[in-house]
């Protein structure tokens, strides 16, 4: 496989786009080599500018749950373009998508549409702080909620350490308001609340994290989290930007029967166009401007093209058999990988939630970020490169989720498992 056009374009791009890309993980730094520049995509396939074709398991990092260019979604967007692309005024489309989202997530009584997952989490945190009248927040090590200042923070040396900025440019004075706990360790959360019982406004969590790779909750962790929040009067925010329509239709909160106070969504609800959303209980959401005093706004929020893509995507997802198909395909891939790994004597840990999964090159179970970080990154890089060379486009990092779509066929699964067989041979 040749990548000369992509390589040349990347060299050019690096002079005018920082790092040659518009979002860091696209640069392939975690696996070495240069990124592939994409020309087009259709169904389960993605085509690069060198004429290579790949089976795509990135799916734009989650949104393309129906595959690329789904005929119904594409046609709805094309029709919407002819009616104008942005008005900066309310449309019936926003009300329609809101209804669909609230039906899918009964814990949400009201919703605000924004343009990205970052904006959703940022808005949710501001609102939760205002509602609770407190400044501190808790997030979990390894959970990603976009790149707003107060969320770009990782743990210090111990659970009680005040947050330190993860990036230059995040003021220490902001980071110090973010405590970091350990996913799947309820005591790490309780300790923080015991030390600061009246200072913590909210806990934000990816209920099934996808940003340290997929990790599943264990031992009633999510229920305990809800109980602790209730005890201390803190708002529980589920960031389901990734898991929302991936774990199942209705998200992790439906699977684990948890009623969070607030939820963040993104990715799938925009059907491949830029959309995010945050919502929750009316008593909280009514504090949001213009109903209440907490300011939040957006020139392109509720954009008619994005709303149209979201509506059509959710309509397709509601059809009978869609999630069964997604689960079946994901199962075939995960079980297939497990069988090959066993046969080769290669220790791996596969965590799956609905149509997203991570294959960790790890001989131990992965329950939190520390466990995930012990994965063998050299093995992952080799695996990634062999898969790519055999026409399989995977997320270029061990700490990401693989996304399966309804467009993946049995033939795709077979080709994928053939490539896994080859990749494992070289490890
Ligand atoms: C759980 C979660 N929250 C928030 C975000 C940020 O979303 P965006 O990249 O749309 O800003 C992401 C992005 O991957 C995410 O996975």
Q: Are 193 and 91 found together in one domain? A: yes
Residue 265 CB–ligand 1 contact under 6 Å:
no
Using the atom order of ligand 1, give the atom closest to the CA of residue 267. Answer: 10
The reported pLDDT for the residue numbered 167 is 79
Q: What is the pLDDT of residues 225-235, one digit of tens each?
A: 999 999 999 99
Largest Cα–Cα distance in the chain?
61
- Ligand 1 pocket test, pick from 145, 149, 278, 301 with the greatest ligand atom count within 8 Å of Cβ, gives 145
Using the atom order of ligand 1, give the atom closest to the CA of residue 117. Answer: 7
Residue 296 structural domain:
71-317
Q: Are 264 and 340 found together in one domain? A: no
Spacing, Cα 259 to ligand 1 middle (Å): 21
The reported pLDDT for the residue numbered 204 is 98
Tokens 């994965």 correspond to what residue? 375
Using the atom order of ligand 1, give the atom closest to the CA of residue 276. Answer: 10
Whether residue 135 lies in the annotated active site: no
- Ligand 1 pocket test, pick from 23, 24, 121, 401 with the greatest ligand atom count within 8 Å of Cβ, gives 121
Q: Which two tokens stand for residue 64?
A: 């393309």
Residue 244 CB–ligand 1 contact under 6 Å:
no
Measured by CA distance, the residue closest to atom 8 of ligand 1 is 117
Q: Are 86 and 129 found together in one domain? A: yes
Q: What is the DSSP string of 307-352?
A: HHHHHHHHHHHTSTTHHHHHHHHHHHHHHHHHHHHHHHT---EEEE
Q: What is the rounded CA–CA span in Å between residue 63 and residue 78?
A: 18
Q: What is the pLDDT of residues 56-69, one digit of tens each?
A: 999 999 999 999 99
Residue 61 CB–ligand 1 contact under 6 Å:
yes
The reported pLDDT for the residue numbered 154 is 67
Which element (helix H / strand E) includes 417? Answer: helix 410-425
Question: In this structure, what CATH number is given to the domain that contains residue 47?
Answer: 3.90.1150.10
Q: What is the pTM of this model?
A: 0.96
Q: Are 40 and 88 found together in one domain? A: no
393 closest CA partner among 35, 21, 51: 35
Q: Are 280 and 398 found together in one domain? A: no
Spacing, Cα 1 to ligand 1 middle (Å): 32
Q: Which of 291, 317, 343 is where one domain is finished?
A: 317
Q: What is the rounded CA–CA span in Å between residue 281 and residue 278?
A: 11
Q: Are 312 and 417 found together in one domain? A: no
Crossing angle of the two packed helices 322-344 and 304-317, in degrees rounded to 10: 80
The reported pLDDT for the residue numbered 168 is 82
- Ligand 1 pocket test, pick from 113, 117, 142, 267 with the greatest ligand atom count within 8 Å of Cβ, gives 117
The reported pLDDT for the residue numbered 163 is 52
Which element (helix H / strand E) includes 356? Answer: strand 356-360
Burial of 109 (0-12, 13-18, 19+ CB in 10 A): middle
Q: What is the rounded CA–CA span in Å between residue 427 and residue 417?
A: 15
Whether residue 239 lies in the annotated active site: yes
Residue 266 CB–ligand 1 contact under 6 Å:
yes
Q: Are 132 and 274 found together in one domain? A: yes
Residue 178 CB–ligand 1 contact under 6 Å:
no
265 closest CA partner among 225, 231, 306, 316: 306
Angle at 400 between CA 399 and CA 405, to 5 degrees: 160
Question: In this structure, what CATH number is given to the domain that contains residue 185?
Answer: 3.40.640.10
Q: Are 27 and 77 found together in one domain? A: no
Q: Are 299 and 382 found together in one domain? A: no
Tell me the sheet residues that pair with 179: 138, 162
Q: How many CB atoms lie within 10 A of CB 47?
A: 17
Dihedral (CA of 103, 107, 113, 116) sign: negative
Q: What is the rounded CA–CA span in Å between residue 29 and residue 81?
A: 37
- For residues 62 and 244, the answer to whether their CB atoms sit within 8 Å is no
Q: Are 251 and 146 found together in one domain? A: yes
Whether residue 383 lies in the annotated active site: no
Q: What is the rounded CA–CA span in Å between residue 240 and residue 25?
A: 20
Domain count within the chain: 2
Spacing, Cα 211 to ligand 1 middle (Å): 9
Which element (helix H / strand E) includes 8? Answer: helix 4-16
157 closest CA partner among 313, 370, 332, 398: 370
Q: Which of 317, 338, 355 is where one domain is finished?
A: 317
Task: Mark the ranges of the chain whose per-residue pLDDT is less than 50.
Answer: 155-162
Residue 145 CB–ligand 1 contact under 6 Å:
yes
Q: Are 296 and 173 found together in one domain? A: yes
- Rounded to the nearest 5 percent, the helix, strand and coil shares of the chain are 40, 15, 40
Q: Which two tokens stand for residue 94?
A: 């926003």
Dihedral (CA of 52, 55, 61, 66) sign: positive
Dihedral (CA of 81, 83, 89, 91) sign: negative
Residue 206 CB–ligand 1 contact under 6 Å:
yes
Measured by CA distance, the residue closest to atom 3 of ligand 1 is 145
Q: Are 174 and 274 found together in one domain? A: yes
405 closest CA partner among 103, 81, 158, 56: 56
Q: Which of 260, 282, 317 is where one domain is finished?
A: 317
The reported pLDDT for the residue numbered 165 is 65
């Amino acid at each position: 496989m040749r990548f000369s056009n992509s390589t040349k374009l990347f060299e050019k791009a690096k002079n005018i786009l920082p790092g040659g890309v518009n979002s860091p993980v696209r640069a392939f730094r975690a696996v070495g080599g240069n990124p592939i520049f994409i020309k087009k995509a259709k169904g389960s396939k993605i085509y690069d500018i060198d004429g290579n074709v790949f089976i795509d398991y990135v799916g734009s990092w989650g949104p393309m749950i129906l595959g690329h260019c789904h005929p119904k979604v594409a046609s709805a967007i094309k029709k919407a373009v002819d009616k104008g692309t942005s008005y900066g005024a309310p449309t019936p489309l926003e009300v329609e998508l809101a209804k669909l989202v609230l039906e899918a997530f009964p814990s949400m009584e009201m919703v605000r549409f924004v343009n990205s997952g970052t904006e959703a989490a940022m808005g949710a945190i501001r609102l939760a702080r205002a509602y609770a009248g407190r400044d501190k927040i808790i997030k979990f090590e390894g959970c990603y909620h976009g790149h707003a200042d107060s969320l770009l923070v990782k743990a210090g040396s111990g659970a009680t350490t005040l947050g330190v900025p993860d990036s230059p440019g995040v003021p220490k004075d902001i980071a110090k308001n973010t405590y970091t706990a350990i996913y799947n360790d309820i005591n790490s959360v309780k300790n923080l609340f015991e030390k600061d019982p009246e200072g913590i406004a909210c806990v934000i969590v990816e209920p099934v994290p996808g940003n340290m790779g997929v990790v599943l909750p264990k031992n009633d962790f999510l229920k305990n989290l809800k109980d602790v929040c209730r005890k201390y009067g803190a708002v529980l925010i589920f960031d389901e930007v990734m898991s929302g329509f991936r774990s199942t239709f209705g998200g992790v909160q439906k699977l684990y029967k948890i009623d969070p106070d607030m939820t963040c969504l993104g990715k799938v609800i925009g059907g491949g166009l830029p959309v995010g959303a945050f919502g929750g209980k009316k008593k909280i959401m009514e504090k949001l401007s213009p109903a209440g005093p907490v300011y939040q706004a957006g020139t392109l929020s509720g954009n008619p093209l994005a709303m149209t893509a979201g509506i059509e995507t959710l309509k397709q997802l509601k059809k009978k058999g869609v999630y069964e198909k997604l689960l079946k395909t994901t199962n075939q891939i995960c079980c297939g990988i497990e069988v090959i790994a066993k046969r080769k004597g290669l220790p791996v840990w596969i965590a799956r939630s609905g149509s997203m999964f991570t294959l960790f090159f790890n001989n131990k179970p992965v329950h939190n970020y520390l466990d995930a970080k012990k994965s063998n990154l050299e093995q992952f890089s080799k695996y990634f490169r062999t898969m790519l060379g055999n026409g399989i486009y995977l997320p270029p990092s061990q700490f990401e989720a693989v996304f399966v779509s309804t467009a993946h066929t049995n033939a795709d699964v077979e080709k994928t498992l053939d490539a896994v067989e080859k990749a494992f041979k070289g490890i």
